[in-house]
Structure 1
Amino acid sequence: MADHYETLGVSREATPEEIKKAYRRLARQLHPDVNPSEEAAEQFKSVTHAYDVLSDPEQRQRYDMGGGQGGAAGFGDIFETFFGAGFGGGGGQRGPRSRSERGDDAMIRVDVELNEVIFGVQREITVNTAVLCSVCEGSCCQPGTHPVTCDVCQGQGQVQRQVRSLFGNVLTMHPCGSCQGYGTIIEHPCVECGGKGRVRERRSMLIDIPSGIDTGTRLQMRGGGEVGPGGGPNGDLFIEFRVMHHDTFSRDGNDLLATMQVSMADAILGTEAKLAALDGEAVVEVEPGTQSGDMITVRGRGIQGLRTTTRGDLKIAVQVVTPTKLSGREKDLVRQLAALRKDEPPHLGEFHQGFFGKIRDRFFRQG
């Protein structure tokens, strides 16, 4: 069996580029479409086999160490080659590969304030992704040049190779090693993108953040991802949202939750309070005799639901504040009130677990 390096006419220290150039030179001379002689056909098979071994780093290493001398195919190779070729495998796709491929999907995370969730908001975001090369516009070639037809496979992207097996000689199709299966060769790749047809760039875009989103909600923007190699179609862009913590308001579904501190006098007599809600001023009526834990609901002042125009409610839990520092006169007045009311002494009452329990728990966790 001839030495693969001698077959290609290169030294054992030849670089991959030197091996590729030698193969292309010999393939142009020996290809059956150029030289139809039987001797040239045999030499072409030997040259192709030598290139297949030496162009693969792992196969070349095994060959240099004395293994894989290019003899008859092993049983595994026979099975894959014979049965694969006979039943639709072994050769992969038919015809040349396309340089244009769909781009990868991309995902970014965006932080959103709670007040922006009420009605939704438009936001400008910046994405670091692959975009179409502005110089070659996806052709991968220097302006004014074009890919040329591979003179080894004649544009087919594949070459035939004869493999000896227990079943005899089997012809199989393999990707052309000269053009890597594309059928064409780019002799003058675009300098800007290195022949990829795309470059990485930070680009800005406006996105509509819908109302009612929550932490973990994802928005899919079709065609907003990376442009593909060779100017291929864009992948999709996925935007994952995180709703930031708010010091005053929290949410329960589409309802907004808050607490309101009320003085003992206002809780007894009742009052009207004007509060700064997330979407403007809200007027709240505190009824006479309001107790700690009572809930005041302001209808339709919560969050507008996702894909709906209906809003949740603003629910406010009341916390009656008992004064801790009283003047002597204030204490006398409280004693007079207590004497007039003749209230029952402190005692255990019925336990109520409701909305205020959630708010109370939240206060304790944050404290």
Structure 2
Amino acid sequence: MSAATSPSERRVSARIGAISESATLAVDAKAKALKAAGRPVIGFGAGEPDFPTPGYIVDAAVEACRNPKYHRYTPAGGLPELKAAIAEKTLRDSGYQVDASQILVTNGGKQAIYEAFAAILDPGDEVIVPAPYWTTYPESIRLAGGVPVDVVADETTGYRVSVEQLEAARTERTKVVLFVSPSNPTGAVYSEADARAIGEWAVEHGLWVLTDEIYEHLVYGSATFTSLPALVPELREKCIVVNGVAKTYAMTGWRVGWLIGPKDVVKAATNLQSHATSNVSNVAQVAALAAVSGNLDAVAEMRTAFDRRRQTIVRMLNEIDGVLCPEPEGAFYAYPSVKALLGKEIRGTRPATSVELAALILDEAEVAVVPGEAFGTPGYLRLSYALGDEDLVEGVSRIQKLLGEAKD
């Protein structure tokens, strides 16, 4: 080992130095910085509803601020009343009956995902990750000592992987399969039959499943949400569910998520959290309690708006020569293929990758999108349609104008 790379000289650990910046947050930050500088940038990067948090949830937080009970440390695993309410909400929405002792309240979904992987992975354990994937999944797996194994689906299958693909990726080191429906970044939703087949395959081979249900209430048309452990009860002793209030209740900034799993795994993850962060902010937990205990009227209103925008963005993107955008069935993302545009001349340049194309769109059209490289699949762009209707139409119109100039 050279002196330049010796442990005594290394300023940042190899483990942390290997972590990539969140591409979606980076794009959103750049777009906001350009807007602050006076440029009329329209951002399709951030995955968060453009609606305010419902008033009754905010009111609950205000009351909590005034209550001395919440001015002190509380149990690291979450307020008991919130854990009980999450159990009731899970039965109501998913048909999955769990006990409060199977729940850990976390600082958002990201912490839940990391702590889940940290609790069950040993160094070298493999996790099958369907791609396109959300940027945080592989980083959390690596940070927990695991090895992500990509299984790629494309637009021809609606970005859904098959059991045959999963089986081809399985090795003796495979311990976990990731299951996400509805999906970020594609909006793909698995049918009940396909979800059941994946769950039964996991049971057959003794695999763990981590399923992210954060977009459970954002499904459209004939698509339906299916909770894997409710559908395949045999999975329950080897299944971890990740969820949170961020998307359903427009609470991305409140940072309240949770994981549900077997009691021994939840206890191990709680021990980790007790040293890493301790309890989630009490005020935010009380707000989350109001959210999960209330009705779903607010999300119904948001879903109606997202559905309208979904149809608009898909139609407009598919009007561009060289762009192919399957219709997403859930979440609030469109994931068009732009492979046919790569290498074509656009305003004097020939972008060879979707990273270069996204940079061109930002520079020339003043529209921020996230390139597919961030999600493990070059040749695509992700656009969040969780923004106002006027901005959405204006932003895609700018992209149409720019990409309409492409020529061989």
Q: Same fold (TM over 0.5)?
A: no
User: Greater share of helix residues, 1 or 2?
Assistant: 2
User: Greater share of strand residues, 1 or 2?
Assistant: 1
**TM-score, normalised via structure 2 length:** 0.21
Say which one has the larger Rg: 1
